[in-house]
Amino acid sequence: SVIRCDVLVIGAGAAGLMCAMTAGRRGRLVQVIDHANKVGKKILMSGGGRCNFTNTGTTAANFLSANPHFCKSALARYTPWHFIEMVERHGIAYHEKELGQLFCDISSKQIVKMLVDECQAAGVHIRTDCGVQKVERGADGFHVHTAQGHFHAASLVVATGGLSIPSMGATGFGYELARQFGHEVLPTRAGLVPLTLSGKHQERFNDLSGVALPITARCNEVEFRNSMLITHRGISGPAILQISSFWQPGDELRLDLLPGQDALEWLRRMKAERGAAELRTVLSEVLPRRLALRLCEHWLPDRLVRQIDEPQLRQAAELLQNFPLVASGTEGYRTAEVTLGGVDTRKVSSSTFESQLVPGLHFIGEVLDVTGWLGGYNFQWAWACGHAAGSVA
Ligand code: FAD
């Protein structure tokens, strides 16, 4: 027997659930199917279990895409304040961590429960453990063959996300479906991901695992000031995750280890005031000690500050302010928070998210070539396009 609905959403993640509740409230008969054994797994694991569900400062400038204007319309029509209104209506306590990032006080489970409750109130049917075998389009709409039977729908919404964290159910399904219907998929790669080091940088840093410090990371004319964490495999922390989305193998990566300070001015002052101290000693007062020692072992003059002449001071300042770090790669999809690239937006409507090639077919969320920075922007994008598609599908 055929299960009939108006709107079939594939993917019960952030974008899919938002789309489903919005369409359901309009009186549409909505089915959501997901191959995973529960809904919203990425929401559950997000933000260290507290879900950074939006960013109050969200603008189009916080997203990467081959088509930078594409995200504007949906973001303007469904803002962080719309989502916050729903969070407050459900009595979910939240706080701002930094830079406009809003997190649940208690648990990301509350966000999933809110989305599921809203779907239920809107009459949406959700099925898990429902893998898709085949999608076909006939004159009467879409026929979707699944592990739980044959669905027929006038509108099909693809909300299957990106490739990051395959162990959480991520697949390339959305990209394959897009290609099946004639859409182009721009090359994908891991974003918001730790970087790995090789060669001498790997050797010189690997036993500093656990060292954290504030930095400014720069790459391809973009920079992020936040913290960095040295790990046993390479480097991580918010500043590195952010810059990783702008970095590709071979690109130069520079770190300012004394962000917000003038390193040369500071070194000259140390020479004037603390000439009898070792450089490693004064450096340990402004950097984690293990890192300061390592820098003096390999890169900086390991002697009394008064013995360092002006040209060497300049060199040292340059090194501290513009440290050239050689990354060998990323940790890949296994640990990446997002996938860059995806379904080319140039054949998708930015207001309805409907395919310009196949009427009734919609793509929303991370499956599209729109990727946010770290800090709640990716969920805001999922909510905004879920809402836009759900308003018309
Ligand atoms: P998803 O939420 O990934 O949903 C896709 C759904 O489709 C999944 O339920 C999946 O099971 C299902 N699916 C996939 N393939 C198939 C198939 N073949 N058949 C049926 N169903 C399928 N962003 C933030 O804004 N803030 C954060 O705090 C944050 N933290 C994160 C932490 C981690 C560890 C990770 C990995 C990501 C984090 N993100 C965060 C990014 C955010 O989770 C994603 O950008 C967002 O979930 C994308 O929403 P989506 O609905 O497009 O895809």
C-alpha span between 147 and 130 (Å, rounded):
5
pLDDT tens track for 165-223? 988 889 899 999 999 999 999 999 999 999 999 888 888 998 999 999 999 999 999 99
Query: What is the residue with the minimal CA distance to atom 16 of ligand 1?
Result: 160
User: Which of ligand 1's atoms lies nearest the C-alpha of 366?
Assistant: 52
Tell me the per-residue pLDDT of 325-336, one tens digit each, with 9 for 90 and over. Answer: 999 999 999 999
Q: Is the distance from the beta carbon of residue 103 to the nearest atom of ligand 1 less than 6 Å?
A: no
How many residues are given for the chain?
A: 393
Our answer on whether the CB atom of 231 is closer than 6 Å to any ligand 1 atom is no
Looking from the CA of residue 168, the nearest atom of ligand 1 is: 11
In this predicted structure, the answer to whether residue 77 has a pLDDT above a threshold of 90 is yes
- Which residues, other chains included, contact 386 with Cβ-Cβ below 8 Å and sequence gap of 6+? 14, 15, 16, 17, 18, 19, 20, 22, 159, 364, 365
Tell me which of 151, 156, 337, 377 to substitute to probe ligand 1's pocket, judged by most ligand atoms within 8 Å of the beta carbon: 337
Task: Count Cα neighbours of 342 within 13 Å in the Cβ-side half-sphere.
Answer: 30
Residue 363 has pLDDT above 90, yes or no: yes
Distance 214 CA to ligand 1 centre (A): 29
15 lines ligand 1 (CB under 6 A): yes
CA 95 – CA 222 distance, rounded (Å): 28
* Domains of the chain by start residue, with CATH: 2-188+340-390 (3.50.50.60), 195-330 (2.40.30.10)
Is residue 46 classed as helix, strand or coil in its secondary structure?
helix
Tokens of 31: 């089915």
Q: How confident is the model over 18-38, as pLDDT tens digits? A: 999 999 999 999 999 999 999
Residue 199, phi then psi, degrees to nearest 5: 60, -140
Tokens representing 387 are 């809402």
Q: Quick one: which atom of ligand 1 is closest to the CA of 170?
A: 14
Evaluate: CB of 51 within 6 angstroms of ligand 1: yes
Q: Does the CB atom of residue 32 touch ligand 1 within 6 A? A: no
Question: What does the alpha-carbon distance between residue 85 and residue 56 come to, in Å, rounded to a whole number?
Answer: 12
Residue 5 pLDDT exceeds 90? yes
Q: Is the CB of 8 under 6 A from ligand 1?
A: no
* C-alpha of residue 161 to centroid of ligand 1, in Å: 5
ipTM of this predicted structure: 0.99
Cα dist from 151 to 6, 130, 132, 253, 281, whole Å: 10, 11, 10, 49, 69
By alpha-carbon position, which residue is closest to atom 29 of ligand 1?
A: 46
Confidence of residue 1 (pLDDT cuts 50, 70, 90): confident
* pTM of the shown model: 0.97
